[in-house]
Structures are given as C-alpha cells and as structure tokens.
Amino acid sequence: MSPRLPVWLLVVASVLVLALPAAAQTPTPTPTPTPSESVSPTPSPTPRPCVRGIPDGYEQVVDLTFPVRGTVRFSDDYDQPRSNGRTHQATDVMADKLQTVHAVMSGEVVVATGVDGPMPSYGYYLKIRHDNGLETAYVHLNNDSPGTDDGLGGTRWAYAPGIRRGVRVERGQWIGYVGDSGNAETTPPHLHFELSNPAWEPPSDGSRPWDPCLDDDKYKTKTRYNPYPSLVAARTRNDLPPPPPTAAVDRVAGANRVLTSVAIAGRFDAGARAVIIVPQDSHAEALAAAPLAGLLDSPIILSAPDALTAEAVAEVQRLGTRNAYLVGRTSQLSAAIETQLREAGVQQLARIDEPDAYALSARLAREVRSYAEAPTLERVVLALGEHADPTRAWPDALSAGTLAALTKAPVLFTSSTELPEAVRALLAELRPPLIQVVGGAGAISDDIARAAAAAASGRWQRISGPNRFATSVAVASEAVRLGLSAPRVWLATGHAFPDALAAGPAAAREGAALVLIDGKTPGGAPEPETWLANRAADLNDGIVVGGQAAITEDVRARLAQILAAR
C-alpha cells in the first residue's frame, strides 16, 4: 500500500496549483530560429518556465542589433561553470580577431577600461548604459597589433576611434574590435557579451534580488539576462550591424614612381606656370625644389636619366606650360630630356645643378627668393641632406619639404657632422629670423642648429618626434598651427621616398598636410593614426599616394574608418 500524504500537504499543493496561470502550467517553448550560415547550429536548451508568468524573465527576448559584424559562431553557453564556482552569465560570440564590434542599442559609454590606466586582468572592456535602462558589456576586446598576438595593440586597437567614457553611441555604431585580451589570452578570439538589467543587481544591504520569473532558488539570484535568445532573434530578423562608416580616401598612383608623379601632376590645372623635372632615384632634388614648386603652383615630375616617359611628355603637353626647370646634373637628367621638353612646347628651360645636396639647396633657395611674389622671409627649414644609412636622411627631409612647400620657405640641407659652408653663407646672406630644424638631435645636433642660428643672427626651433612617423606628425601639427585648415590630408608611406617626392607641393597647393604612415600594416605606426583620429572632426577625406605595394588596401580602409569617426 502506498503511504498516505498528510492532509495539510495535499491542501497546500492544491492551492499552489490553482494559483498557477494557464500559461505557466503549459510553458511555450522558445521558437527555434532559422539559423543563418554564420550562426552556430548548437540548439538552445529547453527554456526554463516563468513560474508566475511575469514577462521580464532572464530569457526575455530584448530588441537589439547583433553586436559583431561578419561571420560568427555562438551557442547558449549561459550558466556554464567557470573557475572559483562562478557561472557564465553571458554569451561568447566567436569571431576572427579585429572583426568589428557594434553597440546593440543606443546609449552612453559608462566604462572603457585601459584608457586612463593599464588594462585590467579581464582585458579591454566597454559597458554601455542604454536609453531603456538596460546595460550591455563587451569584454575581451582586442589588445594586439594587427596580425600578431603581441599584446601591444593598446586602446587604439581595442576601441573604435573616439570611443571613451561619457560618449554617446547609437544603435549599430562601431565601437571596437573582437580580440582575446585579459584572461581570454589562451582562448580563441571572441566577444564576451553581457546583457543586464540594473534593477536586478544585489541591493546594497547585501540581500539578493528575487526574480519571480526564475524557476528555482539558484536562478532567482541571476543578475543578467541570458543574451542568447535575443542574439538569435536579431540574426533571424537580419538585424545585423552596418559596415563601419568610412570617409572617402582616394588613391593617386601609377604603375611605378614616375607614373605616380605623373598622376599627381594630373591634379594640377592646365596652364600651369611651370613644370619641375627631378631624378627618380634621388630625394634631395625634389625636396629642395618643393618650395619653388609651391611658389609657382607647379607640379614635380620624376624622370629616369635618359628620357622622359611618353606619359610624362603627354602630361607636360596637357599642362600647356611654357616654362620648365630641370633640377639635377646631366648624369641624372640628360640633355635628351631638354629636347623632349622643347618639343612638348616648353620655351623657357633652366637647369639647376650643383655638386652636392647642400649647395643645391642653397641655390634653389636663392631661386625662390628671386621671385617678386616670394613672401617675406620669416623662416627657413633645415633638414638632414645625406646620411651613411640611405634610409635615414629622406624621411625628415620629406616632411621638411612639405612644410617648405606650404610656407614657401627655403629648405636647406645639412650634414650630420657640420653645417656646410654653402648653407652657412646663405643663412648669413638671407638672415631669416627663425631656423626650423626638422628631425631629432640624432640627425641634426644642437650644435649644428645653434651654428645655423648664429649664422642667420636668429633663433632656432626643433620639430621632431622619436621616429620618422612622429616627426611627420609634428611637422603636420606645425603646419596646422601656421594656418593650414584644408579638410583633407595626404598620406604617403614612410618606408620609401619615391612615391611621395611629388606629393608635397600637390598637398600644399590644396592647403593640406602630408603625413607619413606605415603603409604595410594597419596600426603599424600609431602616431599618424592618433593624429588623424584627433583631427577627424576637421577632415573630410584623404588621399593615399602610391600603389598597393606602398600602401595596402587594408591600410587605406583603416584610414577611411578613422577619418569617418567624427
């Protein structure tokens, strides 16, 4: 015989059954979504019933946009065990490193770790407080340089440009990158995504909140939604984040350095006052000629020693110029080029050549000052002309030439050991009040800078950074201080000079800065990206100089994203 239950227990059970609403007695299972090709096929476990039928249970479907763009994998890993007795109150969205992360709803960023201090143990992390009172967290954002697992990416590769605490974001807005920072370093890249209702947080007196929609004491103490049903619902209705916004970043390039210079010349209007021809294999001639090109609003075209290319001849004809300069010795630019220029319609032709870069820079400075429209001489720009290491001299000189083209100030070259006599004599003759030294003391010492200032009876100022990219940014900032305000920036690789030789005067005629970047890897040089992000509100677009061998398409796309984050 079965044991008989006490009467009092039967009465209590009957009362409880009667108290249950019909919907709770027969729970409605969560519909199984039609998975897209990028949603994990892992099925959701049987949903737990809402024992009192209250609709705001922890598996409630919240209207949100999916937080990661691109192909992803995720499953219902809510409540899975973790170390120290914890459970996983989130959904891990598995994705490739550097896939973009987006705000799921509109709101304000209230936490952005690592911005004002070191990255915490759990990694780079954003929390957003949304307009509807809910909060979302985006954890383990990227901390690596692109293509590495070096942990050196910093916040610039964790967060989208402009994302910081106190910033408002809109639904679907790009906010960061997928990664594996903090205690996720040993796991595949993923976004740990949390969806919280602050009303569920434990009260300050230490007691736990009680959610009547959870079916036992264990689940009554949950403080976060299970995001999985909401994420599946977002993908089922195709509520996916848009591509990150981009600005127009055009490419000016040719099949080689000569044709790139021809393409740049093509941005000048027909009827140019002059054209300046320089050797293709040397930087000094083009950079020393930059202020002359800036003064005459004229393009610089590169040439091989023996002859102009057919494209260069056609460009000279299109420009319709009657004047030309050849800057370089006949061993660099042959007499045959003079004949080609005359046949292309040039009537006045001048060759400027000197035995070395220092005397050449001094002679070109005198040429600039010979024009009546040359502005009052307020400064000269001093840069390193030659170095035993051929990769050392040109980057700072390129930045100097760009500043000189913009200000129409002469650019003069010095050696790393002494101030050349030709330059000293010119400074004594022109007596500029300010010598702007471009490059660090390792390139041009303080002694040389003081000698230049003494020769001019003026003062000197150094514009530099710890590397070529930082120096380029410092020069661009000086140009902005001097009044440059065009809503455009020109960008050239900092690893080779040929593509950029003709770019300085072209940028200057548009009132734009020319900034050196690492054209190989997005984020490879942080200084120019930081400068661009800080000035994004003032910049509408950009131009990269050179083909994809010089600046990759990934780099160009990254620059477009930075400029779009206004």
Give the DSSP letter string of 221-241: T--EE--HHHHHHHHHTT--P
**What is the rounded distance in angstroms from the CA atom of residue 427 to the CA atom of residue 472?**
25
68-77, 220-229, 418-427: range with lowest mean pLDDT: 220-229
Q: Which residues contact 27 (CB under 8 A, 6 or more apart)?
A: 47, 49, 50
Does the pLDDT value for residue 80 go beyond 90?
Answer: no
Burial zone of 515 (CB within 10 Å; 0-12 exposed, 13-18 middle, 19+ buried): buried
Answer for the pair 180, 129: CB distance below 8 angstroms, yes or no. no
How high is the pLDDT of residue 217?
A: 46
Beta bridge pairs of residue 224? 196
Q: Residue 239 is encoded by which pair of tokens? A: 């509520």
Q: How large is the average pLDDT for residues 154-172? A: 91
pLDDT at 85 (0 to 100): 76
**Tens of pLDDT, residues 281-304:** 999 999 999 999 999 999 999 999
CA atoms 98, 103, 104, 110: torsion sign: positive
Q: What is the dihedral of CA 317, 509, 522, 67, to 10 degrees?
A: -110
| Phi-psi category of residue 187: left, alpha or beta, with phi > 0 → left and psi -120 to 50 → alpha | beta
When pLDDT is averaged across residues 300-321 and rounded to a whole number, the result is: 97
| The predicted structure's pLDDT at residue 53 | 31
- β-strand pairing of 300-303 with 275-279: parallel
pLDDT digits (tens, 9 = 90+) for 88-146: 889 999 999 989 999 999 999 999 999 878 899 999 999 999 999 999 999 999 998 76
Give me the residue spans of the domains in the chain.
58-236, 249-564
Residue whose structure tokens are 């002059």 = 274
- The arithmetic mean of pLDDT across residues 320-347, rounded, is 97
In CATH, what number does 58-236 get?
2.70.70.10
DSSP3 helix / strand / coil % (the chain, rounded to 5): 30, 20, 50
The residue type at 476: A
What is the pLDDT of the chain when averaged over all its residues?
Answer: 85
Three-class HEC string of 13-71: HHHHHHHCCHHHHCCCCCCCCCCCCCCCCCCCCCCCCCCCCCCCCCCCCCCCCCCECCC
Residues 204 and 219: their CA atoms lie apart, in Å, by 20
Q: What is the pLDDT of residue 152?
A: 87
Q: Specify the DSSP class assigned to residue 500.
A: G
DSSP H helical segments within 408-502, as ranges? Answer: 421-430, 446-456, 468-481
**Range from 93-102, 189-198, 445-454, 517-526 carrying the lowest mean pLDDT:** 517-526
